[in-house]
Structures are given as C-alpha cells and as structure tokens.
Amino acid sequence: MKKLVSVSASSFLTLVMLSACSDNGSEEAASSDQGEWSPTNNLEFVAPAGAGGGWDTTARMAAQAFEEADIVDVGIGVINREGGGGAVGWSYIANQAGDPHYLFAASPPLLLIPLNGQSEYSYEDFTPIANVIADFGAFAVRDDAPWQDLNELFEDMQDESSSITVVGESAPGSMDHVQFVNIAKAAGIDPGSITYVSAQDGSAMTNLLNGSVDVYSTGVTETIEQVRAGEVRVLAVTAEERLEGDTVEDYPTAIEQGIDEVFVNWRGFFGPPEMTEEEIDYYVNAFTELNESPEWAEVRERYSWDEYFMVGDEYEQFLEEQNEEMRQLLEELDLYGESE
C-alpha cells in the first residue's frame, strides 16, 4: 500500500515538475572555443500538438530511441504544447531563440498553417535539423462504394452534379485536405470544386462508415484495421511505390493508376532560431547516428514509417520546393492567407 502511494505520488510530482521545468529559461549554452558543442542541460522535444498524434509519437519515439541507443548523454523530456494546429508550440520555440536545447517535431502543417495565415512564424523562422521519416496519405471508401479505383472516383467527381464529399481530420487547407486536392488536381479536377468536410472530433471514420460522406482522406495506418475487417477499401496511397507490410502492400499508388503525383508526409526535427553551426553539427551527427541505429529501425517498422533522411542543404531545398508547391495549391483553393 505504502509503495503504491509513493508510485502515484511520484507520478503526480513528475507532472508538477514537468510543468515547473518547462518554463525555466535554460542557461546560455556553453559553446567551447574548439568549435565543438554538446548539450549542457537536458533536452526538450516539443510536440506542438496533443498526446497521441503524429508529432507526439515522432517526438516520443525519437527521444526513446536516442536514450536506448545511448546517442545523447543528457536526458530528453517530451512536452506537448498544443494549440492552433501547431502555432502555439511554434511561438513557444521562437521564444527560445538561441537556446539549442529545444527541438520540435514537424511535418507539412509547418508549411501549411503559416501559408493559411494562421501562424506568425513560418518554417523559415526555425532551424531545420534533420528529416527522419515519411509516411503517406490514403484515400478510403466504404467497401460497398461504387468506385473500384481512383480514376472511377475522379471521373464521377468531374461530373458537375456530383455530390461526392471528402472527409478528413484536419482543418481545410491542412494535411488531409491538401493531400487529396494535390492528387485530384493532377487528375484534372478543379481544386475548388472538391467538397471537403472537416471532422476534428475524431468522427471522420464513423462518418465514412455510416455513409454521411464518400471518401476519407487520412494516413495509411488509420485505414489498416478497417480494411482488414472488410469495412473499407483504399483506392490509392500517395506514395511513389507500393508500401511494404501486410495489408498495405495491397494498396495501389496513384502513380500506377496513371496519376503522376505523390504527397509525402515528411517528419523531421527543427530547432529554435539563431542556432550556431556547431550546435547544428552536433544534432546532425546525433540524428545521423539515430537514423542508422537498430533501435530506430525497429520503431520505423512498428509504425510502418519509411526512412526519409535529409539534413543540411538537401533538407532546406526540399522544404523550399514543398513550400512553393503548397502555396500554389492553397492559392487555388483560395485558402492562402498572408501571415502578418
């Protein structure tokens, strides 16, 4: 009994301590003259979203693998800073300018939300460290839906009187919406004509199953169990090549159906503004080591994430191209908003 009391008391204490730590301004990073830098404090990995989502999982799994593979000497705490589709977490990181002990997990919404005009900070305000993985979008329909492949669906959508609706979990102009629009546009559909319903309370799959909507644009993993149960079919994934693994290997790509377009849900880590070369180098080495570690390989396999490793100039150029592509899409959707 006593032991249990202390277990629960300590978990409460952790909570209080976590909240207390998170606002401690870390001390100035000690950067030695030799041009080598290593962290002097514990690191904080920020997931700019709630527990359980993609950013959260990426941050937690990376922190865990860093510790298991013994790559980083200091402790890593994962903190959720939820709000504004990421904007709250980003403004928190921007306030840590110059303190390299804070990293955050990022993916396409880091481009999309600022392009929507919903964040005062954009990806250019932060220091890209490394991209680690990618996963892909999937378009699911009910098992009894009339469309056997993506082209049949798009043909019907081209008919002006069509009432086909697409549901997704993100806001209009963010992930689930944009990945569908991106592929549909390549097939000749007018982006503005797509009816998109946002179901942010987790009811998207329910609404597909009960027939309220026709297509569910989501991540590959979200579809697996329903496909196995024979409830839904996946018309296409947004990957370049077929994915590996049970069930998902049966998902056709858009490319093999003649629509030459992909959508990569890249996931990487960024640091605060004003990081020095030495600090960036330290993290680039750490993430390179992580990427090659068996611990991280196991994580990738568990979540069916693809290896998608990029650092330095390559990553920056990739982000620039992606950002331009997204900007064009949002302009066509009339969702592009100049951020102040």
Partner 1 sequence: MIDFGGILSGLQMALSLEGILFVFVGVFVGTFIGLMPGLGPISAIAIMIPMTYNMDPTIALVMMAGVYYGAIFGGSTSSILLNAPGVAGTVATSFDGYPMAQQGKAGKALAIAAIAAFIGGTVSVVFLMLFAPVLSSVAIQFGPPEYFALMLLGLTAIASLSSGSTIKALMSALLGIMIVTIGIDAQTGTVRFTFGSANLLEGIDFLVIALGIFALAEVCALIINRQKTTFNAKTIGSLKITKEDFKEMVGPMSRQSVLGFIIGVLPGAGATIASFIGYTTEKRFAKNPDEFGKGSIKGLTAPETANNAATSGAFVPLLSLGIPGSGTTAVMLGALLVLNVQPGPLLMTENPTLFWGVIMSMYIGNIFLLILNLPLIPYISKILAIPRPMLISLVVVFCIIGVYSISFSIFDLYVLLAFGVIGYLMRMFQFPAAPFILAFILGGMLEQSFRQAMTISGNDVSIFISNPLAATLLALAAVSFLFPLWQSYRNKKKSNQTLSM
Give, as ranges, the residues between 36 and 65 that touch partner 1 (CB under 8 A). 50-53, 56-57, 60-61, 64
| CB of 117 or CB of 252, closer to partner 1 | 117
d(CA 92, CA 80): 11
- Kindly state whether residue 13 participates in binding partner 1, applying the rule CB under 8 A: no
Among positions 4, 24, 25, 277, the unique one binding partner 1 when judged by CB under 8 A: 4
Among positions 73, 163, 192, 277, the unique one binding partner 1 when judged by CB under 8 A: 163
Pattern 213-252, partner 1, x by CB under 8 A? x-------x--xxx-xx-x---------------------
How does 303-332 read in b/e, with b if 16+ C-beta sit within 10 Å?
ebbbebbbbeeebeebbeebbeebeebbee
| CB of 52 or CB of 188, closer to partner 1 | 52
- Least Å from the CB of residue 257 to partner 1: 26
- Least Å from the CB of residue 7 to partner 1: 7
| CB of 111 or CB of 280, closer to partner 1 | 111
**Structure tokens belonging to residue 308:** 């998608």
- Least Å from the CB of residue 310 to partner 1: 25
Task: Name the residue with tokens 């993916």.
Answer: 107
Task: Name the residue with tokens 């797509």.
Answer: 194
**Structure tokens belonging to residue 261:** 């377009």
Dihedral sign for Cα 112, 115, 121, 122, please: positive
Among positions 58, 59, 65, 85, the unique one binding partner 1 when judged by CB under 8 A: 85
Closest CA to 126 of 115, 140, 139, 110: 110
Closest CA to 53 of 221, 173, 179: 221
- Least Å from the CB of residue 132 to partner 1: 17
